Amino acid sequence: MTLPLEDIKILDLSRIYAAPAGSMILADLGADVIRIESPQGTDSMRDWSPFVESESTYYFTANRNKRSVTIDLKKEAGKALFLELVKTADVVLENFVTGTLDRLGIGYEQLKTVNPNIILCSVTGYGQTGPYCKEPGFDPVIQAIGGLMDVTGFMDGDPTRVGVPIVDIICSLYTTVSIMTAIRARDKGGEGQHIDLSLLDVQISSLANIASSFLNTGYISKRLGNQHNNVVPYQVFQCKDRPMMIAVGNDKQFRKLCEILNRPEWLTDEKFSTNSSRVANRVEMTEQLEQIFITKTADEWFKLFSEKGIPSGPVNNVEQALKHPQVLARELVEEVPHPTLGKIKLVRNPIRFSKTPITIRRHPPLLGEHTVSFLREELKLDLQEIENLKSQGII
């Protein structure tokens, strides 16, 4: 099977999640992604629980379909080895603190002297410029600084981070898009270039309607828990057995809701008849709905809403989500061989092409698992040369 990015080679110096998850998507699409770490390991995600035997399940989430090579970039011989690899690479991906590659002597200016067509993608907390550019960037800190935590959580509670590293996840998508765009620009007759991606930039851009509302009206969104600032009813309600989310996005759907709930009087009540009036009378609307939703189970309500096209669904935990009939039907979980664990289960890439099936071809690699084979194939080093590099701690 031929994959669309099979002729693309990426040297991935990144660690943790934002950048590695981006290179993983490119690897899914066929790119040859070579993780390069120090012989002692660079990626602290390998140390994060929970573990299967000695392997981190956290590390699994961002590293399928890659190879792993160890090189000590702080040693001159290791840097020389890396620059040899750059000569035939398309992309170098890194997410060290701004300026680290320059200090190591492998910044963009050095890379392009070796390979003028090289694309360097730098993913940092705050970008390559500005007063915060040297600060380390971690997802929850960016959620705080970037305004996301202030609009997440309940009005009478603390600001709350999203339960997954959402800024890293969104940034990984921008990493993928920016790299493919730079490759396309180069292949159309341009040159390589340096991509500057910032977690804070990504977070600010993802504020969407919240940013637009403030910039154009001065309105500052408030924390409303599972409610929506601008749409009612659009929130979680407790049912007889468990909570469920309902999203009545417009007045047409509200009319259907009134039909299901047998509340035709709401359609002519000036307090509820339009979304604007429902927002203004949110508390009264919510109190009446709470008394109704508690009378049936979440599944009973879902069946009624589904028949009328009203978006809704029970609040599932992770086990219920992964066992959801739609998730099972879409075969989102794949079992793959692993050299020390026998088999592991991973969530698949969600992209579905009609003619290009995407599979998990490689397990998340062990540290340095492919060093010997890669150096023999790529640089034509013999076993004695490789042993000498090992004895010096370079690989």
**Dmax over Cα atoms in the chain, in whole Å?**
86
- H/E element, 279: helix 275-280
The string of DSSP codes covering 307-365 is HHT--EEE---HHHHHT-HHHHHTT-EEEEEETTTEEEEEEPP----SS------SPPP
**The dihedral sign for the CA sequence 181, 95, 353, 164:** negative
Contact, 89 vs 11, CB < 8 A? Answer: yes
Nearest-angstrom CA–CA distance, 300 and 320: 17
Beta-carbon contacts of 255 under 8 Å, excluding residues fewer than 6 positions away, are 267
Q: State the catalytic residues.
A: 168
State the pairing for strand pair 312-314/243-247: antiparallel
Nearest-angstrom CA–CA distance, 250 and 247: 9
Q: How many whole angstroms from its chain centre is CA 222?
A: 25
Q: What's the token pair of residue 381?
A: 């080093």
